[in-house]
Amino acid sequence: MTKLGTTDLDVFPLCLGGNVFGWTADEDASFAVLDAYAAAGGNFIDSADVYSVFAPGNSGGESETIIGKWLAARGNRADIVIATKGGALPPNNGLSAKAIKAAAEGSLRRLGVESIDLYYAHRDDDATPVEETVAAYDELVRAGKVRYVAASNFTPQRLTESLAFADAEGLARYVALQPHYNLVERAGFEPDYVALLRAQNVATVPYFALAKGFLTGKYRPGTDVDSPRAEGAKAYLNERGLRVLAALDEVAAAHESTVAAVSLAWLAAQPTVAAPIASARNTEQLAGLIGMAELRLTEAELAALATASD
């Protein structure tokens, strides 16, 4: 376990993404993945009110509902750190005080919990002043409905403004950032965010940690993968991507591990990263990920992977 930034939340080094629950994993499959994750020592689950609106017939909230049913069925709420996001599901989209309050109430109801451990603003809303947004999140914390607040997809400027206002007014500040960051997506994060997050003691919980599945190693030249994310993953199948896969293959073989676990272990070892997020639609996929928790890469291996991805 590791502390999530400055909070008292002890979290497993792999955060289980709930975006597939109610989408590519039905309720039974989702329960099986959640059971296997918990059995391996996992306790950190990420969702959002907008999951899984992508699936035909869905309207959003399906992932949270499945997680809520699982928590109730297993009676393990006290053992699980629940993170979810609000602000992207109509009609409660945006970060106005009204939208934040309504979105949080909806998530609490679907999850069947009295308090959300880590509540993210899913994406920034530049039409709403940061002062209104930060104050609204602080109200949720003071009411006991949320333990800690965090941000996802915020620009460095808006994150800085939000933190400064929270500090000046003594309000709850964002304790974590959820950005798009992985071994093949570094340029949009490392130059602009790492120094800021370090200085502000804000933890990083990256999404798309496996680059839409590319960093599992299953996408190779001439292969055809049945996945709704296949086209996105294949975008990385270029000279640089093949170089990264070759480096991952070598490290994975040295540790008798999987390419996915090595990819996640590299990410977990980066500055400010508390736990990367990865999802699994079945227990077989989860088995290829969970080993990252015990995997310790050498400095030479970390450097070799970084060099391959430059």
CA atoms in the 13 A half-sphere facing the CB of 231: 1
Quote the mean pLDDT of the chain: 95
* 139-to-100, 150, 267, 305, 310 alpha-carbon distances in Å: 10, 14, 33, 43, 43
Closest CA to 277 of 193, 163, 147, 177: 177
User: Peptide bond preceding 52: is omega within 30 degrees of 0, i.e. cis?
Assistant: yes
H or E element at residue 301: helix 299-309
Residue 230 tokens read as 């296949």
Q: What is the mean pLDDT of residues 108-128?
A: 97
DSSP, collapsed to helix, strand or coil, labels residue 7 as coil
pLDDT band at 225 (very low <50, low <70, confident <90, very high): low
Closest CA to 197 of 170, 240, 163: 163
pLDDT band at 226 (very low <50, low <70, confident <90, very high): low
Residue-level pLDDT at 32: 98
Residue-level pLDDT at 231: 73
Instruction: Give me the CATH code for the 2-214+271-295 domain, please.
Output: 3.20.20.100
Q: What is the mean pLDDT of residues 179-206?
A: 97
Residue-level pLDDT at 216: 94
Residue with tokens 């602000």: 87
Q: Is the pLDDT of residue 51 over 90?
A: yes
Residue-level pLDDT at 135: 98
pLDDT band at 233 (very low <50, low <70, confident <90, very high): confident
Active-site residue, selected from the candidate residues 37, 51, 174, 207: 51
302 neighbors 47 (Cβ within 8 angstroms) = no
Q: What backbone phi and psi angles, to 5 degrees, belong to 209?
A: -60, -25
**Is residue 51 among the annotated active site residues?**
yes
pLDDT band at 221 (very low <50, low <70, confident <90, very high): confident
Query: pLDDT by residue (tens digit) across 71-82?
Result: 999 999 999 999
Residue 70's contacts (CB-CB under 8 Å, 6 or more residues apart) are 30, 31, 34
Residue-level pLDDT at 265: 98
Q: What is the mean pLDDT of residues 213-227?
A: 81
Q: What is the mean pLDDT of residues 40-47?
A: 98
Question: Hey, where are the domains in the chain?
Answer: 2-214+271-295
Residue-level pLDDT at 64: 98
Residue-level pLDDT at 97: 98
Query: pLDDT by residue (tens digit) across 271-294?
Result: 999 999 999 999 999 999 999 999
DSSP, collapsed to helix, strand or coil, labels residue 273 as strand
